[in-house]
């Protein structure tokens, strides 16, 4: 169990602090005067690929590496020895980051981008992530730790959570790094509970995290495709949460 938490803490701090070290470069890359004069490929800050590609590489290598496969099983066994009951918090925490970029702004904590841009980033990042995760799941053959299905790789819950964490980081890192800390802590916790609940291996979680982060970065690289200089003059929106006894739902109405 101690070794597992060491992996978890290393995983979380690697993700967050490498993001922080790149903040200044990212800010300069996205200056308005530069964006309008450079092609999409030229605008990509390739150092941002270090973390997501590293995580995804680990996940892919672990599919064939006997050592990493053994590590997956050792961590699973350590967790099973300490599991008394399952916690389904990961079914809800995966959406926390994405919801926060709208909820915080609604409560007066202003995001970096306007509502239209945030909706674009959230929609595109989740679309890329979902398409990638489902494509890999449908062509893969990795059994879940509990042997319930052979679509374990990668973790969709974790990918969704890290999409939200990166959205939160992009929107609020200039206001305070603690929003990013909170977002990545929740995302790392989601990955932990996927393993704790015996639904995923560590390699599934790493791959999902990498996909989630990279999908969101791509979405923000695409933001210039919508008019960044055009501010939404008249935008109203309303979100109404609900619960039907089994599922948490949210209904919304947005008018530009």
Quote the domain boundaries for residue 223: 2-255
Q: Tens digit of pLDDT for each residue in 5-64?
A: 454 454 455 445 444 444 444 444 444 444 444 555 566 677 888 899 999 999 999 999
Average pLDDT per 10 consecutive residues for the chain, totaling 256 residues: 48 48 44 48 72 93 94 89 76 94 91 92 95 92 91 96 96 91 94 93 96 94 69 49 49 54
Provide the pLDDT for residue 105: 87
HEC-encoded secondary structure of 95-137: CHHHHHHHHHHHCCCCCCCCHHHHHHHHHHHHHHHHHHHHHHH
Q: Tens digit of pLDDT for each residue in 54-77?
A: 999 999 999 999 999 999 999 988
User: Cα angle at 210 between 177 and 51, to 5 degrees?
Assistant: 60
Provide the pLDDT for residue 139: 87
What is the total count of domains within the chain? 1
- The pair phi, psi for residue 238, each rounded to 5°, is -145, 135
pTM: 0.75
- The pair phi, psi for residue 27, each rounded to 5°, is -60, -45
Provide the pLDDT for residue 179: 92
Pair 192, 8: CB distance under 8 Å? yes
Closest CA to 21 of 45, 44, 54, 53: 45
Provide the pLDDT for residue 252: 53
């Amino acid at each position: 169990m101690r070794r597992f938490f060491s992996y978890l803490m290393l995983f979380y701090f690697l993700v967050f602090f490498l993001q922080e070290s790149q903040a200044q470069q990212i800010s300069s890359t996205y200056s308005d005067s530069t964006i309008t004069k450079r092609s999409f490929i030229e605008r990509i800050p390739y150092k941002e690929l270090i973390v997501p590609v590293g995580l995804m590489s680990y996940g892919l290598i672990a599919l064939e590496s006997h050592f990493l496969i053994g590590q997956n099983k050792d961590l699973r066994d350590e967790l099973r020895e300490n599991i008394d009951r399952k916690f389904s918090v990961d079914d809800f925490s995966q959406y926390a980051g994405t919801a926060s970029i709208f909820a915080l702004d609604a409560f007066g904590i202003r995001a970096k981008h306007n509502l239209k841009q945030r909706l674009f980033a959230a929609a595109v990042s989740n679309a890329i992530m979902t398409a990638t995760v489902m494509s890999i799941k449908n062509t893969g053959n990795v059994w879940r730790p509990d042997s319930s299905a052979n679509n374990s790789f990668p973790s969709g819950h974790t990918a969704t959570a890290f999409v939200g964490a990166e959205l939160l980081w992009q929107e609020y890192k200039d206001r305070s790094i603690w929003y990013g800390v909170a977002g990545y802590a929740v995302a790392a916790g989601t990955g932990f509970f996927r393993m704790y609940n015996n639904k995923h291996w560590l390699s599934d979680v790493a791959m999902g995290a990498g996909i989630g982060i990279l999908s969101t970065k791509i979405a923000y690289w695409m933001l210039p495709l919508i008019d960044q200089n055009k501010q939404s003059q008249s935008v109203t929106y309303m979100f109404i949460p609900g619960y039907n006894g089994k599922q948490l739902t949210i209904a919304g109405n947005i008018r530009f």
